[in-house]
Structure 1
Amino acid sequence: MSALQRIEQTRDALVDAMAAEDWQAIGTLDIECRACVESVLESGAAVDEAQLRANLEDLLGVYRKLLEVTTGARQAIVEEMKQVSHAHNAAKVYQLFR
């Protein structure tokens, strides 16, 4: 399998893991993806530069989307923690006047 194919497959798997919100798989695929890109850039093998550029641009798009998704998930957790904190404080006040 060529390095370009490995990048494509890893990118597709990353998209699938992102859709499933499988954070464990995303972490593993991120490491694999970095290794694929490094191997392409470090190897002296002849690679179709236009195709490589297109693959890397597509990969960059996936990472942008992943950043949006993770930022949104983190914000949702922050909001949930605020609600838990408010509920905890309300329970304390209730206990004081009981």
Structure 2
Amino acid sequence: MSHALQRMDDTREALLNALSARDWEAIGKLDESCRSCIDEMLNEASMDEAVVREKLEGLLQVYRELLEVTTGERQAIANEMTQINQGKNASKVYQLFS
């Protein structure tokens, strides 16, 4: 296995681990690494096209999972903020009548 393919596999695995740990800082850094891995892999002349496609499809699946998780996290935060705002409004109403 070429260095570029191994690096892609390692980065993909690290991205999955960071995702399961919800380590957003690590995910940001690994996202940058993925970009350079892809560039390196695509620029390597002797790369088998089927293998490249397989690696990129695997990475695409990780990004789909990442998008799903971040969407869920964002919705959870939005729900929490809504509850906080409702609590503040209820508190203001209570203060008006006390």
Q: TM-score range by the shorter chain?
A: over 0.9
In 1, distance between residues paired with 2:78 and 2:23? 20
How many angstroms apart in 2 are the aligned matches of 1:14 and 1:56?
14
CA distance in 2, matches of 1:22, 1:75: 18
Query: Percent same amino acid at aligned positions?
Result: 57
1:82 corresponds in structure 2 to: 82
Shift of 1:45: 2.5
Counterpart amino acid of residue 84 in structure 1: I
Amino acid at match of 1:20: A
Correspondence list, 1:47-62, <5 A: 47-62=47-62
Moved more, 56-65 or 46-55: 46-55
Q: Following TM superposition, by how much is the alpha carbon of 1:48 offset from its aligned partner in structure 2, in angstroms?
A: 1.8
**Structure 2 equivalent of residue 96 of structure 1:** 96
**TM score, norm. by length of structure 1:** 0.95
Q: Matched residue pairs, number?
A: 97
Within-5 A mapping of 1:20-59: 20-41=21-42, 43-59=43-59
Deviations 1:50-86 (A, max 9, x none): 1111111000000001000000000000000000000
Q: Which runs of 4+ in 1 moved over 6 A?
A: none
Q: TM-score under structure 2 normalisation?
A: 0.95
Q: CA deviation at 1:29?
A: 0.2
Residue 3 in structure 1 maps to residue 23 in structure 2: no
CA distance in 2, matches of 1:62, 1:88: 39
Q: Distance in 1 between matches of 2:48 and 2:39?
A: 16
- In structure 2, what is the Cα distance between the partners aligned to 1:76 and 1:44? 42
Gap regions ≥5 residues in structure 2: none
Structure 1 alignment gaps of length 5 or more: none
